[in-house]
Structure 1
Amino acid sequence: MRAPFSHINQAWSTLILERLHDQGVRDVCIAPGSRSAPLALAAAHLAERRDDLVLHTHFDERGLGFLALGLTRASGRPTALITTSGTAVPNLHPALVEAFQTHQPLIALTADRPPELIHCGANQAIEQPGLFALHVRAQLNLPPPDTAISAGALGADMDQCLQALHGADRGPVHINAPFREPLYGTSQLADFGPWLSDLRAPTRMPPIHEAVALPRLHGPVALVAGQLDPDEAEAVLALAQRAHLPILADIGSQLRLIDHPCVVPYPDLLCASPSGQHALAGLGQVIQFGGRITSKRLNQWLAGFAGEYWLVSAHSGCLDPERRAIPIQANIPAFCTQLDPPPQSDTGLVAAARALAPHLEAATEEPFSELSVARRLSQEIPQEMALFPGNSLSIRLLDAVAEPGLGQRCVTSRGASGIDGLVATAAGFARRHPGGLTLLLGDLSLLHDLNSLALTQGSSSPLVIVVLNNDGGAIFNLLPAQSQGEHFQPLFQLPHGLGFEHAATQFRLRYAAPKDIEAFAEAYQAACQRPGTTLIELTFPPDRGSQALTGLIQSIRDDAARR
């Protein structure tokens, strides 16, 4: 750090931002505000000196939080968020919840009023310390800047808090930073050399690798892949190849979209198929990698599985809702390398799943439905482009009917599985993924995050937002709520009668509204071939998607009954 600064706020904020950079932060997301000015200016000055630091701004803190989440998901690096004081701060909570659940290293750096301005009617003054206590891995409530507190002490406190960004159980942290006025410095510089004299280089604890007891394998064995990072998925696939083990892969596993002899296509439908159930009944052991399985049918099968069931995760938290699995906390790539299963004979799972393809083709030909869009999108998406299934109906459709192919990267938001922040997360991911991204989401999800469309403007890579507009919460047609008669629409489905053409115009996005599957394919292909954002709106009756999916399941069962 340079010694001459004009004010302790400036020196203090600069140290904070440089410490974040030392811990790997290369993206800083900033919302406008007055109390946060020292932090925002320090970030701007640091970016002028460090070519690898990028600043991102947005007028809405809630969307900004999810933008940061998307940046982190794509880059693997921690991302910092700067907000002013007051209600700006709790707007970060939804993104921090998702980051906490999925171990993403976000830093909420929130400016605050000094203690003397709390509980006295001062403007934008709330109790900020501990606000995210249940959803961060570490928190630090700094004192107001004061030269009586040395730079060495401030740096040490920062380092201790930021350790939580790394390691197996990493996750978000909250640093609350009060500032007294005057917030801004002057043109007169002071010598802060004495204050900086005890500042030491940042420290980071080395990772601890503990020995893991490997399960004794006895066949037939199947692997289940939950939410995995690309390197974890690669290791699981290599393990399967060595012993010819079948993999039942979730849409978020990075394996579901791969056409490979070991990867079982359509595992959700397989669990509904009598032939698939027969093949599954022949298994003696299951090893699951990662958690948060999308398919309810696959979850139900795992809950009732009578054999030995192991669940391997890099993290210490429980990922087994039924608490039946034997948990193993381990580095997944290292674990897969150590495991040496003997080759086994064919379980019949892959063949049983591939036999479902004719039913899929029939169910997705007519009529034009959300189901046919999900399947066609999986067939058309370019290899280098990432796929982001929105929560609720979208991810369930893709998990059920996506055709295996080129193994595109698939990013999900399955920590808390909320419908909020999906557009902002997609915008952040696209900024760090040169191949572009396709977001498939529902109309309520888009309405919930509408102002985040501003974050998609000027995308340097293709960003395609495909919205399934079925006038409300069509997912409830597949849930018990659909039997609630007169209460179903006003309390669950919430029809709104809105479209998105004018929203696309307002945010200066390209727009298309195809009316059939071939027109959709044409519009989608064009959008994937050009930089910038395209919003494709597809309109369906509220119950068409649910009818198509239930009809597909029934056709599979009827065909088995006739045999």
Structure 2
Amino acid sequence: MQATFTHINEAWAQLLITRLYQHGVRDICLAPGSRSAPLTLAAIRLQDTYPQLQLHTHFDERGLAFMGLGLCRARRRPVALITTSGTAVPNLHPALVEAFQTHQPLVAVTADRPEELVGCGANQAIVQPGIFSHHVRAALNLPTPDITLSGGWLAQQLDLALARLHGPGRGPVHLNVPFCDPLYGTPESADFGPWMSDVAPVVTAPDPFPGFTMHRIREPVIFVAGQLDPEEAEAVLMVARDYHVPILADIGSQLRLQDHPCILPHPDLLLTVTHIRRRLKAMNQVIQFGGRLTSRRLNQWLADFQGRHWLVSPHEDGLDPERRALQIQASIPEFCSQLKIPVQGDLGIAPLQAQVIEQLELALTYPFSEPAAARVITDTIPDDMLLLPGNSLSIRLLDMVARPGRGNRCITNRGASGIDGLVATAAGLATGHPAGATLLLGDLSLLHDLNSLALAARSPHPLVIVVLNNDGGGIFNLLPAAAHKDHFQSFFQLPHGLTFRNAATLFGLIYANPDSAGAFQKAYTEACRRGDATLIELNFPSNQSSRIIRGLIKTLEEVRFEE
């Protein structure tokens, strides 16, 4: 590490950035700012030493943070965010909330004014320590750089906080870093070798998973798959295959889009059928892997389940809203390797599944609709391209209608299920994944994150943004708010009358506006083949999807199925 600097600020910042790299950070997302200049310049300098270090910039801290979250999810390693002081800092909060809920190792490095400038009317000075207190796994409020505090002391403090980027309790970390003037150093150079002489190597030893007891299983058993990483999903599917265990898989489980005899297709729709629910009553035990399930019907079925319910997760956070499940903290692959289940017989619901699929196909035939658009995406998406469903209506449509097949990795922001930052997250995913990413989101979600189209336009890999424009909050047509007709539009749906052609032009994105399933499939296929970003806008009547979905559910609830 370089030992000659012009100022303690330079040495302090250089050691901090180096320590981030040694803890696994290979991507740093930077917003412009003056107080953060020592950190930014240190990151730039260190690219010569560490060619793998990549720097990403954006003018908006909120979008920058969600881009970092997307990079974190795509590359599955820690990502750092660097901002200046003041209101730049709380703009990171939404992404840190999502990272906290989903245990993503995001590091917020926030430059700050020295303590004596806070609370006295100084410019761009707010109380920053503890600002993310409930939504980070560790926080470190450093003093201003001081030559009397050795580099070894600084490295030790950083290591204690950054250790929370690893292991079963991992998650976001906040480093608050005040700097005094002069920020950029002086004309004179000094040897900081003695100051750094007591810096010890990084030792990363994440906390082990706690031990668990494998209780006796009450067969027959059914698996429920929530939000899982690929290796967790693979372990669940392997044990299901060995013992013929059926799986009800969430769209974020990495199993829902796979075509396999154990994975029940369209679980959200299957659970509307009386005969299928009756067959599932024969189950004596549910083993659920991961949480944050999308389907309301699946959540309700679990709430009403009368047998034994285990919930296995590598994290200690509670994931059962009903607080009835026995939660087991364990590595899911390790847990699966120890599962022993008597080989089970077939559920006998294949004819019923076929009839559900038949009714679904009829509902998707005409007219071209939002559910039909979701189906086109899952039927057409290239192998290995990532899929990011936006929250609200988009993820529910994919969970409901996606046809199993390609098994693409599906990444969701279901920690807090917000509609903010989806474009930026997708830009991070596409930047970090050579096969690119598809984002399906609603019009309000796109309006919420419109300036992140600047990030999308710089994507080095294919990025396809498909916006379902139903002129407002279409999800509310499926919620009780729809019954309040006098207030529904003004306070829930919020129609805006906007379209996105000019937004695509403003940010330099390729734009398409197909009006049929065939035209959409053609536009989507072409967009996936490009190496840059495309915005595809699909316009639909505000209540079309709700009518189609309600009609389909009513048919499935009332039709006399033949077993």
What is the CA-CA distance between 1:367 and the residue it aligns to?
Answer: 1.1
Counterpart of 2:425 in structure 1 is: 425
What is the CA-CA distance between 1:186 and the residue it aligns to?
Answer: 3.1
> What is the CA–CA distance in structure 1 between the aligned matches of 2:31 and 2:556, rounded to whole Å?
51
User: Does the residue aligned with 1:452 lie in a helix, a strand or coil?
Assistant: helix
Structure 2 residue 79 is the aligned partner of structure 1 residue 79: yes
* CA RMSD after TM alignment: 1.1
> What is the CA–CA distance in structure 2 between the aligned matches of 1:350 and 1:284, rounded to whole Å?
20
Matches within 5 A, 1:477-488: 477-488=477-488
| Residue identity in the other structure for 2:405 | G
Query: Closer, same or farther in 2 for the Cα pair 1:359/1:485, shift >3 Å?
Result: same
Query: Closer, same or farther in 2 for the Cα pair 1:437/1:487, shift >3 Å?
Result: same
- 1:97-121 per-residue CA deviation (whole Å, 9 max, x = no partner) reads 0000000000000000001101100
> What is the CA–CA distance in structure 1 between the aligned matches of 2:362 and 2:241, rounded to whole Å?
32
> What is the CA–CA distance in structure 1 between the aligned matches of 2:561 and 2:255, rounded to whole Å?
31
User: Does the residue aligned with 2:519 lie in a helix, a strand or coil?
Assistant: helix
| Residue identity in the other structure for 2:442 | G
Counterpart of 1:4 in structure 2 is: 4
> What is the CA–CA distance in structure 2 between the aligned matches of 1:187 and 1:348, rounded to whole Å?
80
What is the CA-CA distance between 1:204 and the residue it aligns to?
Answer: 2.0
Query: Closer, same or farther in 2 for the Cα pair 1:350/1:35, shift >3 Å?
Result: farther
8 Å contact from structure 1 (residues 282, 347) kept in 2: no
Structure 2 residue 35 is the aligned partner of structure 1 residue 35: yes
Matches within 5 A, 1:243-282: 243-282=243-282
> What is the CA–CA distance in structure 1 between the aligned matches of 2:80 and 2:228, rounded to whole Å?
24
| Residue identity in the other structure for 2:273 | S
- 1:273-316 per-residue CA deviation (whole Å, 9 max, x = no partner) reads 12221221121111000000000000000000011111000000
8 Å contact from structure 1 (residues 444, 472) kept in 2: yes
Counterpart of 1:330 in structure 2 is: 330
Counterpart of 1:194 in structure 2 is: 194
Larger deviation, residues 436-445 vs 342-351: 342-351
Larger deviation, residues 218-227 vs 24-33: 218-227
Larger deviation, residues 400-409 vs 373-382: 373-382
> What is the CA–CA distance in structure 1 between the aligned matches of 2:80 and 2:157, rounded to whole Å?
17
8 Å contact from structure 2 (residues 352, 561) kept in 1: no
TM-score of the pair, normalised by structure 2: 0.99
What is the CA-CA distance between 1:206 and the residue it aligns to?
Answer: 4.1
> What is the CA–CA distance in structure 2 between the aligned matches of 1:309 and 1:214, rounded to whole Å?
13
TM-score of the pair, normalised by structure 1: 0.99
- 1:246-293 per-residue CA deviation (whole Å, 9 max, x = no partner) reads 000000000000010000000000111122212211211110000000
| Residue identity in the other structure for 1:160 | L
Counterpart of 2:559 in structure 1 is: 559
Counterpart of 1:439 in structure 2 is: 439
Matches within 5 A, 1:136-535: 136-349=136-349, 351-535=351-535
- 1:181-202 per-residue CA deviation (whole Å, 9 max, x = no partner) reads 0000234210112211211112
| Residue identity in the other structure for 1:519 | A
What is the CA-CA distance between 1:434 and the residue it aligns to?
Answer: 1.1
User: Does the residue aligned with 1:175 lie in a helix, a strand or coil?
Assistant: strand
> What is the CA–CA distance in structure 1 between the aligned matches of 2:209 and 2:485, rounded to whole Å?
56
| Residue identity in the other structure for 1:406 | R
8 Å contact from structure 2 (residues 85, 125) kept in 1: yes
> What is the CA–CA distance in structure 2 between the aligned matches of 1:230 and 1:376, rounded to whole Å?
24
- 1:392-417 per-residue CA deviation (whole Å, 9 max, x = no partner) reads 00000000110000211100000000
> What is the CA–CA distance in structure 1 between the aligned matches of 2:511 and 2:7, rounded to whole Å?
49
| Residue identity in the other structure for 1:18 | T
User: Does the residue aligned with 1:133 lie in a helix, a strand or coil?
Assistant: coil
- 1:1-53 per-residue CA deviation (whole Å, 9 max, x = no partner) reads 22111110000000000000000000000000000000000011011221100
Structure 2 residue 133 is the aligned partner of structure 1 residue 133: yes
What is the CA-CA distance between 1:152 and the residue it aligns to?
Answer: 0.6
User: Does the residue aligned with 1:193 lie in a helix, a strand or coil?
Assistant: coil
Query: Closer, same or farther in 2 for the Cα pair 1:407/1:105, shift >3 Å?
Result: same
User: Does the residue aligned with 1:176 lie in a helix, a strand or coil?
Assistant: strand
- 1:169-218 per-residue CA deviation (whole Å, 9 max, x = no partner) reads 10001000000000002342101122112111122224324321113122
Mark the runs of 5 or more structure 2 residues left unpaired by the alignment: none
8 Å contact from structure 2 (residues 166, 206) kept in 1: no
Counterpart of 1:68 in structure 2 is: 68
What is the CA-CA distance between 1:562 and the residue it aligns to?
Answer: 9.3
> What is the CA–CA distance in structure 2 between the aligned matches of 1:231 and 1:351, rounded to whole Å?
32
Identical positions, percent:
61
What is the CA-CA distance between 1:350 and the residue it aligns to?
Answer: 5.0
8 Å contact from structure 1 (residues 86, 112) kept in 2: yes
8 Å contact from structure 2 (residues 386, 429) kept in 1: no
What is the CA-CA distance between 1:351 and the residue it aligns to?
Answer: 4.8
Counterpart of 1:46 in structure 2 is: 46
What is the CA-CA distance between 1:391 and the residue it aligns to?
Answer: 0.1
| Residue identity in the other structure for 2:140 | L
> What is the CA–CA distance in structure 2 between the aligned matches of 1:87 and 1:69, rounded to whole Å?
20
Larger deviation, residues 347-356 vs 87-96: 347-356
8 Å contact from structure 1 (residues 28, 53) kept in 2: yes
8 Å contact from structure 2 (residues 209, 314) kept in 1: no
The number of equivalent residue pairs is: 563
User: Does the residue aligned with 1:156 lie in a helix, a strand or coil?
Assistant: helix
